[in-house]
Chain A
């Protein structure tokens, strides 16, 4: 039985303390301890991207990130973007385009897309495809996801 440990996380703009096994991943802590379940466990190996969250300004696989390594860093999950203009445009574009099918990959896709727009507001379609290539989707064939990201980027372009 692994020992438990108190983690202090800056999560979605608030400081939280959580008691979890010392070997817990960030995804374990988010889902099981904090009931933040937008991030999904699709493979637990860092491949599918369904568990993507932001740590500081970098999208990461929370299933491969030890919770202990997140102390003192800013973590943002999809729930933390409720008031974010760019995220709202992305969400509306995904709803309208057909980019949401089963929805299991959607949270991770949105986090990655939000980061892409921040880094490259005028991304071309091939750049969008490349940026999203770490977020697997088995339903859509990606056409409408790419379309939605391009549309949202255009909407929020400065």
Chain B
């Protein structure tokens, strides 16, 4: 449902055009990484470390090399000393010198068949000296803790991390004067919250296929969210010049942050270089759980103070974050979480501090929401708690506090468009908030309703687009943005088609390829529609400019008297006669000016931090993005006997600036909701000591179609001034407020606050039993 029917639909923008690649997906012809084959291709298997923390003393690969079918073995001795990493370069292509978590790839081999590779990999002998392990951030910070990265001081870091011992990074942001603000507060709430590690569980496990040509140049296909980050990581960790590696993508079977930085691409390339043969490495589901990455568990202490009218005067937030064995995106996740810890509210005195600590677990990293769902879980419960204690309606207290036009975000970022108020209005109306139907209570059940608000950025870093007009006037669009299934190819083609006023079927979208695509940082940070969309619109406008020059010369009419007509035609304003793009492109190719190519690149440049209003220490993102907003509301039902919580209906309103493709925005809302619901109610990676105890879909449950509720997706459009046709991001925000809204619904059913995620049956039942004891 779009509430903005007054914005006219164009020729492509604003239409729910089915995704361009859907037909190949419904016929089973789409090729994912495991569907790719090369002649002479070998299959890889990985040997995982049996210890969470150990020094590697020696390798014996003789027996493995003699096993049937084995062509090459790779150990830490075969990879260079160089290290990769987005924020701190702390990770080798393969464990070298030490292993830092149980299951960490310590060796790999390539054989003629997968069966042979799996059989032989266990014949690789590694001698270790076991070291004491750090299994929690608290353990990692004690004075005599075993140190994971002994050379941390020497690592290259891209910002002031404050790294020391096992402290990977620390960030502190502060605005106003929090310490003295409490005195003026009529009510202060304070609690500690914890959130569980969540597995991404993209339906496609990670994989890679590498080939080396006669000149030693590598071609690499992999399941990824950025062919350019793959290229950078592989080249950094293997000491390859970037020009010696071509990174490509097949269709990607889902990505939620897990495929953004590298996974097994470096070791796959190293195996291909070593054997001189194509090598394919596809993770098993268990390996995908154990060695890729996951959502960070957070410990959050949050304190919020308000005046007697519920107006927020101060908030203080402190987080302790488990980094896992490698920094990966963790410093960014923590820094971003702290930036978002105040929520979309005016808070005159706000402080957010965090410590990120290395532990002997798999790396935690980017995951849809990027730390925001964790702090929103804490913050939005406190807003409800305050509302309850002051007897103010939960919607009303939020209206009193939300950011208004002209306000800036915590620490300084500008907010251009802000449809949050309209999101709240829409949710209130759609859910019949005023006449909440929770009074009809079946025996043995409790029903509750919970609301939460959130905001999220879209932006960050560099991107580009090339729009080429082919001889016949049709268009080839190349952006380097990996479509991970969310539909960015389609959305970018819509932006291109709209700018050129042509039907979308005149635009073909090139698959990302580091050889031919302009740089694109990645499909992450809810950024492709907003940043790459801007690049596409810019490149297409350049094509229009060249078309107009040609048309002006052909028709002998000044450019200002020309108009672009729907369907790929140019004419003098009001004239019957017009020129098709084919005629213009033919002239450009064969007679005058040269083939028409438009390109545009940009980097997000607005500063995150305004030093005049806030103090910032260890800020990982100096320039971040524009803001989307959302409100999420759930109705739940709790079984009093089992404590099981079921979401019975959900409403989610999202301000995306402009929905380039409304259906695809709705599916982002719905998919984000259900993934957030799993995080809220049952998903939890559980470690038994150092060993992940539930690395399978039998033991780690994600929501099924029977668990998912009906979801009402509401699109709000408050156009972003510099967004393409007003658009801003929609990829992550739909998940952010889900755990908080469900927690608020549980809190409406049971006394107290939901301090820990997941809200498992056990935890909710304990709350119900406490209630019964108290009454």
Across the interface, A143 reaches (CB within 8 A) one of B27, B28, B675, B711, namely B711
A138 touches B68 (CB 8 A): no
Contact A37–B203 (Cβ < 8 Å): no
User: In the bound complex, do residue B115 and residue A103 qualify as a contact, i.e. CB atoms below 8 Å apart?
Assistant: no
**Quick check: is A121 within 8 A (CB to CB) of the other chain?**
no
Q: Contact between A103 and B697 (Cβ–Cβ < 8 Å)?
A: no
- For the complex, is B486 an interface residue (Cβ under 8 Å from A)? yes
B708 touches A107 (CB 8 A): no
- Tell me whether A101 and B702 are in contact in the complex, defined as CB-CB below 8 angstroms, given that A136-B203, A138-B256, A144-B670 are known contacts: no
> Which residues of B sit under 8 angstroms from A21, Cβ to Cβ?
115
Q: B704–A106 contact, CB under 8 A?
A: no
Task: Indicate with 1 or 0, residue by residue over A31-46, a CB within 8 angstroms of chain B CB atoms.
Answer: 1000001111111110
CB proximity to A under 8 Å, residues B21-43: 21-32, 34-35
With A43-B696, A44-B285 known to touch, is A100 a contact of B663 (CB < 8 Å)?
A: no
Asked if B704 and A42 make an inter-chain contact with CB atoms under 8 angstroms apart, the answer reads no
The answer to whether the Cβ of A110 comes within 8 Å of any Cβ in the partner chain is yes
CB of B663 within 8 A of CB of A98, answer: yes
Q: In the bound complex, do residue B705 and residue A138 qualify as a contact, i.e. CB atoms below 8 Å apart?
A: no
Is A139 close to B, CB under 8 A? yes
A141 within 8 A of B: yes
Residues of B within 8 A of A135 (CB): 705
Asked if A95 is an interface residue, CB under 8 A from chain B, the answer is yes
Q: Are A91 and B26 in contact (CB under 8 A)?
A: yes
Contact B251 A102 (CB under 8 A): yes
**Residue in chain A with minimal CB distance to B254:** A102
Q: How many residues of A contact B (CB 8 A)?
A: 54
Judge whether B22 and A133 touch: CB under 8 Å.
Answer: no
Given contacts A2-B115, A45-B697, A45-B698, contact A102 B23 (CB under 8 A): no
Bound Cα distance A78, B501 (Å): 38
Contacts of A1-60 to chain B: CB distance below 8 A: 1-2, 21, 31, 37-45, 47-48, 50
Counting residue pairs across A and B whose Cβ atoms lie within 8 Å, the total is 179
| B697 and A98 form a contact (CB under 8 A) | no
Hey, which chain B residues are within 8 Å of A137, CB to CB? 203, 705
A120 at the A/B interface (Cβ < 8 Å)?
no
Q: Could you mark each residue 117-158 of chain A with 1 if its beta carbon is under 8 Å from any beta carbon of chain B, else 0?
A: 000000000001110111111111111111000000000000
A19 to B148, CA, bound (A): 49
Please determine whether A79 and B285 come into contact, CB atoms closer than 8 angstroms. Answer: no
B19 within 8 A of A: yes
Q: A44-B285, A47-B696 are in contact. Are A138 and B702 (CB under 8 A)?
A: yes
CA distance A136 to B285 in the complex (A): 14
A96 in the interface, Cβ–Cβ < 8 Å? yes
**Known contacts being A1-B116, A136-B697, is A43 close to B667, with CB within 8 Å?**
no
Q: Contact between B34 and A41 (Cβ–Cβ < 8 Å)?
A: yes
A45 to B205, CA, bound (A): 13
A155 to chain B, nearest CB (A): 15
Q: Is A94 an interface residue (CB 8 A)?
A: yes
Q: Known contacts A45-B697, A100-B22; is A141 also within 8 Å of B671 by CB?
A: yes
- B667/A101 in contact, CB under 8 A: yes
Give the residue among B27, B35, B251, B666 with the most A Cβ atoms within 10 A: B27
B residues within 8 A CB of A128? 705
The A-contacting residues of B in range 234-278, CB under 8 angstroms, are 251-256
Q: Supply 24 A–B pairs (Cβ within 8 Å), ascending by A.
A: A38-B29, A39-B28, A41-B205, A42-B204, A44-B284, A44-B285, A45-B285, A45-B698, A48-B203, A50-B203, A91-B26, A94-B22, A104-B202, A129-B708, A136-B201, A136-B704, A137-B705, A138-B203, A139-B485, A140-B667, A141-B673, A142-B670, A143-B708, A143-B710
Known: A138-B201, A141-B670. 18 other contacts (CB 8 A): A43-B697, A44-B284, A50-B203, A100-B19, A101-B254, A102-B253, A104-B253, A105-B203, A107-B28, A130-B706, A136-B702, A138-B254, A138-B702, A139-B485, A140-B670, A141-B672, A143-B670, A145-B705
5 tightest A-B CB contacts, nearest first: A38-B28, A102-B485, A103-B25, A141-B670, A104-B253
Residues of A whose CB lies within 8 Å of any CB of B are: 1-2, 21, 31, 37-45, 47-48, 50, 77-79, 82, 90-91, 94-98, 100-107, 110, 128-130, 132-146
